[in-house]
Amino acid sequence: MDEDGCDTKSEDFGQIRIDRPFYEDKQLREDFCYQKPKGPNVAKEWSRNFRFKKLLVQTIPVLDWLVKYSWKHDFVKDIISGITVAIMHIPQGMAYAMLGNVPAVVGIYMAFFPVMIYFIFGTSKHNSMGTFSVACLMTGKAVLEYSDPSYFSTKGNIDGSTLIEPTGYSPIQVATAVTFIVALFQLAMYFLRLGAISALLSETLVSGFTTGAAIHVLVSQIKDLFGLQIPKFKGNFSNVYTIIAIFGELSKTNAAALIISFITIVISVLNNDFFKPIVARVSPLPFPMELIAVVVGTLMSKYCNLEASYQIRVVGDIPVGLPEPTLPEFSLLSNLIVDGITISIVTYTINLSMALIFAQKLNYEVDANQELLAMGLSNIFGSFFSCMPVCASLSRSLIQQVVGGVSQIASIISCIILLTVLLWIGPFFQALPKAVLASVIVVALKGMLMQVLDFWKFWKLSKIDALVWLGTFLSVVFIGIDIGLLCGVGLSLASIFFLSFKPHTCLLGHVANTDFYLDIKRYKAARELDGIKIFHYAGGINFATKSIFKSDLIRLIGINPQKEVVNRAKLAKYMGKVDECKINSENLTNKLEKVQNKVNTKLRCLILDFSSVSHIDPSGVSMLKSITDSFMKLGIPVYIAHCKEPVYEMLTKVYPDYTAKIGFRSFPTVHDAVHYATVLFSNSMNSSISTINIQF
């Protein structure tokens, strides 16, 4: 025992007994009837998976879950949940519509038309579809880029250097065109079964991206919080230009707007941090502070005539009734491809992430590909009714679940209430100050802004992940949302590429009286066996990593076989010329003996542990053969242990006769290889290696 209580005493290997015959890989496969699995029967798989009834239920999930719905026990819960979510939709929808540079009523449209389609095709029971700050902001970028500037600031619209020529398109036309192309991409992803594409957006990337987008949202609302007249900037670095313009206009702050913003923010924060937890102990229904702020702000603006008296900017005209169905402007689609791709991936990833959270929490299944179909059809339908791309909102979805919502019937209840607002109540909010909506947005951003602390969490867990987070965040904040997302994906892929070039390698040692072989640098109880080196490699061996495998092997075992072979050849050549040159051969003879003994005393057998080798390509096999041949020239056998079937098949495919070569053998476990080498050392040199049959 050492001072840490570890048993580091070297034990005789023969003390271990495993009650099974000794195996090599080739014999193991013969004895246990190994057969490479056949590919699936495409016709049978297609027939089984695409039967009409099964396909119908998979495509329209409401047909399945609605017949099982418990109207007696669950309907009241969904009514309460639907009413609560509808109350949240009104202020959030109007506020987030401002981020999209479209009329406030569009936010309520988004909580009505697409939601009805998601009810039919969606698989999440608790996702609250509608407006989402990041999606609306990304859409607003395209709206600002391609809409007629006369719809916005009276000072014009600039991108930092040049004026944008008017296009004649209204913000609604651009927004619906974005929605339509987002739908096309999502439907294309569904038919191509690309639901797993969301895996490209890691937790690190999503955190950095949404935090950076939250900064964009915050900056975009400062002008309304302070009542400033600032032109809308387009293109890259728009955030920087906006911040510079804000500092240039701070002296012109509208005091009345600032007071309204300050009061709304303070009351909302106090409600969220102090009052809401108290209410939660008494009632499952949250206190609708946002709606109260909107109603009170509207009443004060209307009866105190804030717009005329204090130049407070208000929401303005809100039409009564439902919008007429209109086809999107197809002439715009070619200009919106990049925006469509980014928005479709971001909204789908966020939507699926939230759906999976609730599904795991409440033990039901969510179909990733079906979610693509549901979102695509929802956006197609919404694009005909003046809607921006929809996405699930974390705050609304959480409330929908917390207050007892059981299914998407809660969303239908919410739609019915919002229909009432659209038909009769909408014009009431025309006098609502934009400062109130900006305050609602800023308070709602708290959760995303606090994600900045995630950087330190990722830094502690992985420096590479932290750099991905930081690179994504900074590129989103200072360059642009779409460029930032592209940079984030690039950094994530680069990190994967970098990690694949840093495989884990180590030497394994034996733990006495066990069949464990562990990293000798991490386990004090693991001791190297005399004359045997066990090299562990974790990762793939291919044309790109073969040099890393070779260099790490040479570094860890301390022997370069190819160099040693060359040294031996040189000394042997010199020894042949000793008599001709009439020089003293004693020194050369000693050198040759040292070269021969150096390798043989240090290493008599090399075992390659392939238990963590996931893949090997022909280039890797060629490298492996070259190294093996070099060791064999030194009289050192090389054994492969714990080789996965696909790796073994590649070895035998590239070199079918390699298992027949003396010194290059494959074993099912490291233990088999070590035992074979140990017995081989103890047998006489005349023993036939190929006929040894060991019971242990």
Judged on CB neighbours under 10 Å (0-12, 13-18, 19+), 688 is: exposed
d(CA 284, CA 404): 8
Nearest CA among 19, 7, 3 for reference residue 513: 7
d(CA 220, CA 294): 20
8 Å CB contact between 169 and 245: no
Residue 282: the pLDDT is: 82
Instruction: List the structure tokens of 547.
Output: 């040099």
Element (H, E) at 279: helix 276-282
d(CA 622, CA 654): 8
Instruction: List the structure tokens of 141.
Output: 């970028």
Q: Can you tell me whether residue 580 is helix, strand or coil?
A: helix
Residue 688: the pLDDT is: 38
Q: Within 10 A of 349 (CB to CB), how many other CB atoms are there?
A: 20
d(CA 642, CA 640): 7
Q: Which domains does the chain have, with CATH numbers?
A: 13-34+503-559+603-691 (3.30.750.24), 69-495 (no CATH)
End-to-end CA distance of the chain: 27
Residue 650: the pLDDT is: 87
Cite the beta strand spans of 525-668 per DSSP E.
Answer: 526-527, 532-541, 605-616, 638-641, 664-667
Nearest CA among 200, 201, 184 for reference residue 192: 184
- Please tell me the number of Cα atoms within 13 Å of 652 on its side-chain side: 14
Spell out a b/e string for 585-611, using b for 16 or more CB atoms within 10 Å of the CB, else e: eeebeeebeebeeebeeebbbbbbbbe
Element (H, E) at 517: strand 517-519
Nearest CA among 691, 513, 540 for reference residue 613: 540
- The tens digit of pLDDT for each residue in 417-458 reads 999 999 999 899 999 999 999 999 999 888 889 999 999 999
Task: Please list the residues that pair with 511 across neighbouring strands.
Answer: 526
d(CA 208, CA 81): 32
Q: Can you tell me whether residue 431 is helix, strand or coil?
A: helix
d(CA 188, CA 194): 9
Name all contacts of 493-497 with Cβ < 8 Å and 24+ positions apart: 493/200, 495/464, 495/465, 495/467, 495/468
Residue segments in the chain with a per-residue pLDDT below the cut of 70:
1-19, 38-53, 153-167, 198-200, 571-601, 657-664, 683-696
Instruction: List the structure tokens of 132.
Output: 């989402």
Task: Please list the residues that pair with 129 across neighbouring strands.
Answer: 392
Residue 161: the pLDDT is: 42
Nearest CA among 676, 572, 681, 565 for reference residue 626: 565
Residue linked to tokens 């569904």: 190
d(CA 470, CA 361): 30
d(CA 380, CA 614): 43
Amino acid type, 372: L
DSSP string, 49-75: HT-HHHHHHHH-THHHHTTT--HHHHH
DSSP string, 233-245: B-STTHHHHHHHH
Q: Within 10 A of 681 (CB to CB), how many other CB atoms are there?
A: 12
Cite the beta strand spans of 330-409 per DSSP E.
Answer: 391-392
In this structure, the chain runs to a length of 696
Nearest CA among 141, 130, 140, 126 for reference residue 91: 130
pTM: 0.77
CA-atom Rg of the chain in angstroms: 35
d(CA 400, CA 77): 10
Task: Please list the residues that pair with 510 across neighbouring strands.
Answer: 517, 527
